[in-house]
Amino acid sequence: MKIWEDDNQKYIKAMMEKNTTEQNEKLTKRLEEIDFSVLEHIERKETVNERGVFAPLDAVEVSEIEARGAEFKELGLKAIREGKVGAVLLAGGQGTRLGLDRPKGTLNIGVAKELYLFEQLLRNLMDVTDEAGVYVPLYIMTSNINNADTTAFFEEHDYFGYPKDYVKFFVQEMVPACDYEGRIYMESQTEVAMSPNGNGGWFSSMVNAGLLSDIKERGIEWINVFAVDNCLQRIADPMFVGATIAYGCESGAKVVRKAAPDERVGVLCTEDGKPSIAEYYEMTEEMSTARKENGDLKYGFGVILNYLFSEKKLEQIADARMPIHVVEKKIPYMDVDGTFVKPEQPNGYKFETLVLDMVHMMDDCIPYEVVREREFAPIKNLHGVDSLDSARELMKGCGIEL
Ligand SMILES: CC(=O)N[C@H]1[C@@H](OP(=O)(O)OP(=O)(O)OC[C@H]2O[C@@H](n3ccc(=O)[nH]c3=O)[C@H](O)[C@@H]2O)O[C@H](CO)[C@@H](O)[C@@H]1O
């Protein structure tokens, strides 16, 4: 059955009744292009896949990293100088929680002078490229919502001094959003309400954008994926790359020691013997408070969304289906009477794949501990925990002039 023949689909039906023949031709064409299979996941809301048996996984701690620092750094710099390392910036989300109607990376984090989040990230990358003496290819994932603004921003600021040839943008895929009864929302009379498909689709979106040949031509063997919101993010960090190579692992995840048992971060552990990330809402009280003999938390290391993946492995898993997470969100839509609604509260579901699920597809993953105060200043809100305020404090603590 075509989606518009389904009596349950009241928003689509209402538009079709009001539309002119031309409008309906446009709408039907659009509906035929969209994959609505995500709707099947609604009943299993956020319990997409049965989880296996979790067990703690010890991190490679800062003390060990420091002891082997010179070795790791040399290995990492060698890989970077040989052009084997690329980086992917996940920037498909909007800055809505910050009250920004623009890409999050365009946020001015400066105080006395202008300093944009994108700019700071590029500076962090240039710390490495200056030392290595070569540039690292940077791929930036945007979405339909912010691609034009993001690319224009980079042009306007002359790529913040990074060579343009080393920066490539690609757009992530979109999926339809619906209400709690699985009725697809409409954005206008002829457009379905679509939203970015989560940060887990980054590699397949790169492949779809034709960038695999670029990766191969450049000889990239390691890809460092990171989030836009952490202004202290170290990118293509030679020590991290070197450690992953030295341990003979096919992936690595930067982790920080959890600030408290109930800190809302995913923890790196094993699941049925393979590396995995248990999200904070999946952990039982017993799991999150369990302690080792020395008093440390058993599940004590949280991920900061900075991963290193072997490119070869990514290609092997490229066609594997990733779990779909069903997430409650506020979805603006056109109601059946034609009024446009901007909800204050969540009013339906979006469907997302998550980068952290990729970790479970790896045979191994090195949990690489970093010092929170030096590498983790995520900006999720304007004030309070993980905010612009707290990030500014942390940046000052690192000697960054604002
Ligand atoms: C799913 C995931 O990895 N969650 C991590 C994320 O949570 P968090 O809740 O911050 O995850 P977000 O949904 O904000 O996404 C993180 C990053 O992915 C990008 N993005 C998101 C959705 C999308 O469709 N496209 C896209 O590019 C965002 O622009 C951002 O750079 O960071 C925390 C640390 O700060 C980690 O502890 C969480 O494990």
Ligand 1 contact, 91 CB (< 6 A): yes
Residue 285 in domain? yes
Ligand 1 contact, 92 CB (< 6 A): yes
**How many angstroms does the Cα of residue 48 sit away from the middle of ligand 1?**
18
pLDDT score, position 46? 52
- Provide the token pair at 47: 């319990």
pLDDT score, position 44? 66
> For atom 24 of ligand 1, which residue has the closest CA?
198
Ligand 1 contact, 331 CB (< 6 A): no
CA nearest neighbour of 72 among 308, 244, 309, 236: 244
Q: Which atom of ligand 1 is nearest to the CA of 227?
A: 31
Q: Return the ∠ at Cα 174 (arms to 172 and 175), rounded to 5°.
A: 145
**How many angstroms does the Cα of residue 105 sit away from the middle of ligand 1?**
13
Tokens 């010179």 -> residue = 70
> For atom 10 of ligand 1, which residue has the closest CA?
380
SS3 334: strand
Residue 176 Cα distances to 179, 185, 271, 321, 336, angstroms: 11, 8, 31, 18, 17
- Give Cβ neighbours of residue 378 (< 8 Å, ≥ 6 apart): 227, 229, 230, 304, 386, 391
**How many angstroms does the Cα of residue 186 sit away from the middle of ligand 1?**
26
Q: State the average pLDDT over residues 273-300.
A: 91
Contact assessment for residue 285 and residue 311, using Cβ atoms and an 8 Å cutoff = no
- In angstroms, rounded to a whole number, what is the distance separating the alpha carbons of residues 298 and 290? 6
Q: State the average pLDDT over residues 154-170.
A: 97
**How many angstroms does the Cα of residue 199 sit away from the middle of ligand 1?**
7
Residue 26 in domain? no
Residue 402 in domain? no
What is the band of 93 on the pLDDT scale with cuts at 50, 70, 90? Answer: confident
What is the band of 190 on the pLDDT scale with cuts at 50, 70, 90? Answer: very high
Q: Which helix (H) or strand (E) element contains residue 21?
A: helix 21-33
- In angstroms, rounded to a whole number, what is the distance separating the alpha carbons of residues 34 and 28? 10
Ligand 1 contact, 107 CB (< 6 A): no
- Interval 2-50: pLDDT, tens: 898 999 999 999 999 999 999 999 999 999 999 998 888 887 665 445 6
SS3 201: helix
Ligand 1 contact, 242 CB (< 6 A): no
Residue 16 phi/psi, 5-degree rounding, is -65, -35
Contact assessment for residue 325 and residue 353, using Cβ atoms and an 8 Å cutoff = yes
Q: Which residue has the higher pLDDT, 115 or 38?
A: 115
pLDDT score, position 305? 96
- In angstroms, rounded to a whole number, what is the distance separating the alpha carbons of residues 188 and 227? 31
Ligand 1 contact, 266 CB (< 6 A): yes
- Interval 330-357: pLDDT, tens: 999 999 999 999 999 999 999 999 999 9
Lowest mean pLDDT among 59-68, 235-244, 277-286, 288-297: 277-286
Contact assessment for residue 355 and residue 266, using Cβ atoms and an 8 Å cutoff = no
Residue 15 in domain? no
Ligand 1 contact, 95 CB (< 6 A): no
pLDDT score, position 95? 76
Ligand 1 contact, 200 CB (< 6 A): no
pLDDT score, position 193? 96
Residue 11 in domain? no
- In angstroms, rounded to a whole number, what is the distance separating the alpha carbons of residues 77 and 334? 53
**How many angstroms does the Cα of residue 379 sit away from the middle of ligand 1?**
11
Tokens 């079709």 -> residue = 16
Ligand 1 contact, 211 CB (< 6 A): no
Q: State the average pLDDT over residues 57-73.
A: 95
> For atom 33 of ligand 1, which residue has the closest CA?
304
Q: State the average pLDDT over residues 298-307.
A: 96
SS3 271: strand
| Residue-range definition of the domain harbouring residue 278 | 34-397
Residue 19 in domain? no
CATH number reported for the structural domain that contains residue 344 in this entry: 3.90.550.10
Residue of 117, 140, 199, 352 best suited for mutating to test ligand 1, as the one with most atoms within 8 Å of CB: 199
As for how many domains the chain has, the answer is 1
Residue 192 in domain? yes
> For atom 39 of ligand 1, which residue has the closest CA?
266
Amino acid type, 398: C
Torsion angle of C-alpha atoms 230, 232, 236, 238, degrees rounded to 10: -150
Q: Which atom of ligand 1 is nearest to the CA of 141?
A: 27
Residue 12 in domain? no
| pLDDT > 70 in the chain, percent | 98
Q: Which atom of ligand 1 is nearest to the CA of 198?
A: 24
